[in-house]
Amino acid sequence: MYRTSEMKKFTQCGKKSGTHGFERAADLWIARIFVKGDVWPMLDLNSVGTRRAFDTAMREEVKSLMWALKNPDAGETPEERVRLGRENASTMNYMDMDSRDICCNSTCGVWFRTVRKKIGLQEVEACPESFIRELETREAEDNEERAALFPEPFRSNIRAFAEAFGLTQDESDALAFLLIARFHEPLKELLEYFDFAAGGARLLAEVLSVALGKEMSEKLFSADGTLMSTGLLHLCKASEEELDDRFELLGDDDQCGSVMNEQISPEAFYSRRIVRAPKANLTLDDYSHIPAVKNLLIPYLAKVLQTRKTGVNILIYGPPGTGKTELTRTAAEAIGAKLYEIGPLRNAEKENGERSRITRWNIAEKLYRSSEKTLLVIDESEDIINEGAVFTIFGGPKRSNKAELNKLVEIAPVPTFWLTNTLGGMDPALIRRFDIVLEVPIPPENVRRRIAESEVGNLVSADMIDRLALSGKLSPAVISRTASVIADLNLEDEKARDEACETLLSASLDAQSLGRLPGRSEALPRFYDTAFVNTTADLKGICEGLKRCGAGRLCLYGPPGTGKTAYVRWLARELGVPLIAKRASDLLSMFVGGTEALICEAFEEAKRAGALLLIDEADSFLRDRELSQRSWEVTQVNELLTQMESFPGIFCATTNLFENIDRAALRRFDLKAKFDFLRPEQRLGLLERHLAALGLGTDGVKSLVTRLSALDCITPGDFAAIERGSAFSPIQSAEEFLRRLEDDSALKNEGRKKPRIGF
């Protein structure tokens, strides 16, 4: 790039900038850097600012000067005769030059103090400083200095970013300089000469001071400065050749071009990365199993938005698909707030991972700090909040600057939700900085039923709804996606839709190692009635008593199929409370101490949800400690007893092996009720109901009473099993139904008469 003899502009001889409207500013900056800075780029017809060794650059410049001195008639003016270039350059080495005094009165274009010192120039007829002053004078003569240097819409965009992020004039000028340098090739190549990786903020401040013609403090580019702390500027530590790889601008390099060429607001600029949340699909009633949502979260958020309290952060955790994201949307709508979601990283951003997410969040914090009733949410925040020590061993992300994150969390002006599937690896020092820590577990049965009815109620049968409600591993998100698939399949037959639903959901649970969809046998029987339960306890009276006091510990024991679990399900329904049912497979762990932790979590889950807690097959955990052979068998019993005593709600335990229960455990139950085989009149009544359901007449039942009375080990479960079997092996008469009952009874009697092996 050379100055013309008219001294009014620079003529570009290198690459085209590809950016229209910025030449005036770029030319001025390049001139200042060349003249006032200790810069030694090599100038030629092909490029500007290519990185070459000092000796090579010096040699080429002196060759050009010597050629001009030996050809005084080559141009009409001194400037043209001494133009810097390589045309017809001689191979003369500057160390061999003897006629340095010839250069004393030479007039050159853009020159360097270093060159003058090396070759002995004492004075320059048209010194570059005067040229710079002329440009500055012309610049000041414009009515609007910024308009002359920065064309629209770039000028308005820079002003909008400055207002949004609270930038000073110096910070705004620095941002504009770096943006133009990214797209103006000559200026870009010149800046690539500098080693900013080594010089850091100090060197960047020096270069901008020279280019902009005013003192630029190094503090502008410090970590605490607005440019760096907001993420508008990031200095890469690695030494890179390309300028694009040395600086990251605006937190989104790919979008920078839009700031140069089109009118765009900061909100629109970041709209692909900071997204306005869609309307919530759930209501607060769908989170009734988490009382803290209504009692704490909603009123607290409403208050902090009103008072504009800073440093407000809410940590929400729980298994995938439990509705954490929906909860944030529902909460925002409940208090009339706008919610913005920090979008996920693209593949190209994965390398920077944590820093990219923090940068994006920090930008959102600054962007919406003055907005009325605004909330932010960072989904899948594990890459930011987890320590990562374990994950790094296996190639996962590692958080490197805990202090920085802790500080940002404490001063954040916009309340933020942080969502994560697990707290494993999270620094306790960070956890204590959250105002509210809230777990979102798998919803209890009554909520799951409501969600299932809402999502697939018009697609599948009532039996399938029951099975969905029973699954303690099925998340709302999985149900919703399954409903969408079934609807798209457009199946006309309800049975086919049921089969599709079961296939899809069981496959999803299987893939997550969560078992399969519960069978129909786990649902409350269609004909459930406490009148068909043989027990001395007043079952309906117990229900009324629990409604009054809201707490109690019940042990239900007796043979399999007598209705123990079904009664607990009925009890929860009558009380209008969620049911959390745990079996041995849900609570037993392969790790020492794991079972105790799962038992504790089950009680905590029920406490949070205000649910009735059922532990089926409780003899697995309450086995007589005198029979224990290992220490962990004792600690499991101890843990369950401790949790029972401190649990403020309703706890039910069922067992088929009452005789194996620890004696100390029995006294901790407020009620122990035995469920026995059906009495004769109960068998008759239940038979009539099932025959009616199957469309069979009850006319011949009286003739079967004698045979039915002889079946002394029949349970309600036997009737339910025979009815299920009729789906694939139809029953034609009451006689056939009774015959199947007799077969079941005979099998039980045979088992009871069979001698035991052992001593």
What is the arithmetic mean of pLDDT over 314-341? 92
Is 512 in contact with 501 (CB distance < 8 Å)? no
- Separation of alpha carbons 50 and 199, rounded Å: 19
Name the CATH topology of 530-674: Rossmann fold (3.40.50)
For the packed helices 594-609 and 631-646, what is the interaxial angle rounded to 10 degrees? Answer: 10
The backbone torsions φ and ψ at residue 554, rounded to the nearest 5 degrees and listed phi first, read -115, 135
Please tell me which residue, 262 or 243, carries the higher pLDDT value.
Answer: 262
Mean pLDDT computed over every residue of the chain? 75
Model confidence band, residue 240 (pLDDT cutoffs 50, 70, 90): low
- Separation of alpha carbons 695 and 675, rounded Å: 30
DSSP assignment letter at 8:
S
Strand-pair category, 416-420 with 374-378: parallel
What is the arithmetic mean of pLDDT over 91-119? 34
Q: Whole-model pTM above 0.85?
A: no
Helix extents (H) in 394-536: 402-411, 428-431, 445-456, 462-470, 476-489, 494-511
What is the arithmetic mean of pLDDT over 84-98? 32
Digit-coded pLDDT (tens) for 344-394: 665 444 444 455 778 888 889 988 988 889 999 998 888 787 654 333 333
Choose from 86-90, 211-215, 416-420, 428-432 the range with maximum mean pLDDT. 416-420
- Separation of alpha carbons 266 and 204, rounded Å: 25
Digit-coded pLDDT (tens) for 532-557: 999 999 999 999 999 999 899 999 99
Digit-coded pLDDT (tens) for 594-645: 888 899 989 988 887 788 999 998 888 887 655 555 555 678 888 888 999 9
Query: What residues have CB less than 8 Å from 166, skipping those under 6 apart?
Result: 226, 366
- Separation of alpha carbons 174 and 193, rounded Å: 18
Digit-coded pLDDT (tens) for 668-704: 899 999 999 999 999 999 998 888 888 887 777 878 8
CA distances from 473 to 318, 485, 606, 697 (A): 12, 20, 15, 41
Digit-coded pLDDT (tens) for 403-438: 778 888 888 899 999 999 888 778 888 889 999 999
What is the chain's alpha carbon radius of gyration, rounded to the nearest angstrom? Answer: 40
Query: Of all residues in the chain, what percent carry a pLDDT higher than 70?
Result: 72
Statement: residue 648 has pLDDT above 90: yes
- Separation of alpha carbons 467 and 518, rounded Å: 6
Statement: residue 268 has pLDDT above 50: yes
Digit-coded pLDDT (tens) for 713-743: 999 999 988 988 888 888 888 889 989 999 9
SS (H, E, C) 300-332: HHHHHHHHCCCCCEEEEECCCCCCHHHHHHHHH
Nearest to 188 by CA among 29, 374, 393: 29
- Separation of alpha carbons 275 and 667, rounded Å: 57
Statement: residue 304 has pLDDT above 60: yes
Is 301 in contact with 438 (CB distance < 8 Å)? no
Model confidence band, residue 132 (pLDDT cutoffs 50, 70, 90): low
Structure tokens at 759: 């001593």
Q: How many residues does the chain have?
A: 759
- In 544-602, the DSSP E strands lie at 552-557, 579-582
The distance between the two most distant Cα atoms of the chain, rounded to a whole number of Å, is 138
- For the chain, how many helices (H) and strands (E)? 35, 17
Query: Of all residues in the chain, what percent carry a pLDDT higher than 90?
Result: 22
Contacts 24+ apart (CB under 8 A), 720-729: 720/521, 720/525, 721/521, 722/690, 723/690, 723/693, 723/694, 724/520, 724/521, 726/694
pLDDT at 608 (0 to 100): 79
Is 254 in contact with 385 (CB distance < 8 Å)? no
pLDDT at 674 (0 to 100): 95
DSSP assignment letter at 128:
H
Choose from 1-10, 578-587, 672-681 the range with maximum mean pLDDT. 672-681
pLDDT at 375 (0 to 100): 96
DSSP assignment of 607-666 equals: HHHTPEEEETTGGGTSB-GGG--SHHHHHHHHHHHHHHHH--SEEEEEES-GGGB-HHHH
DSSP assignment letter at 530:
G
User: Residue 242, SS3?
Assistant: coil
DSSP assignment of 29-84 equals: HHHHHHHHS----EE-SS-EEE---HHHHHHHHHHHHHHHHH-TTSSSSHHHHT--
- Separation of alpha carbons 560 and 658, rounded Å: 12
Q: Which helix (H) or strand (E) holds 50?
A: strand 48-50
Structure tokens at 76: 């009409």
Nearest to 412 by CA among 374, 447, 438, 451: 374
Is 14 in contact with 186 (CB distance < 8 Å)? yes
User: Residue 338, SS3?
Assistant: strand
Statement: residue 562 has pLDDT above 70: yes
Digit-coded pLDDT (tens) for 36-82: 654 444 333 233 333 333 344 444 444 555 555 555 555 544 444 33
- Separation of alpha carbons 613 and 604, rounded Å: 10
- Separation of alpha carbons 238 and 424, rounded Å: 32
Query: What residues have CB less than 8 Å from 430, skipping those under 6 apart?
Result: 385, 402, 405, 406, 409
Statement: residue 143 has pLDDT above 60: no
Model confidence band, residue 313 (pLDDT cutoffs 50, 70, 90): very high
Contacts 24+ apart (CB under 8 A), 511-517: 512/473, 514/473, 515/473, 515/585, 517/467, 517/468, 517/471, 517/474
pLDDT at 702 (0 to 100): 78
Cis peptide bond upstream of 153, omega within 30: yes
- Separation of alpha carbons 438 and 77, rounded Å: 80
- Domain extent listing, the chain: 2-141, 150-269, 274-439, 445-518, 530-674, 680-753
Weakest mean pLDDT among 215-229, 345-359, 648-662, 689-703: 345-359
Statement: residue 450 has pLDDT above 70: yes
What is the arithmetic mean of pLDDT over 281-286? 86
**Do the domains at 274-439 and 530-674 have one common CATH topology?**
yes
Statement: residue 206 has pLDDT above 90: no
**Within 13 Å of residue 706, how many CA atoms lie on the same side as its CB?**
1
Plot region of 617 (φ>0 → left; ψ -120 to 50 → alpha; else → beta): left
Statement: residue 525 has pLDDT above 90: no
Model confidence band, residue 330 (pLDDT cutoffs 50, 70, 90): very high
Is 632 in contact with 595 (CB distance < 8 Å)? yes
Statement: residue 530 has pLDDT above 70: yes
User: Residue 673, SS3?
Assistant: strand
pLDDT at 35 (0 to 100): 60
One CATH from 3.10.129.10, 1.10.10.60, 3.40.50.300, 3.40.190.10 for 274-439? 3.40.50.300
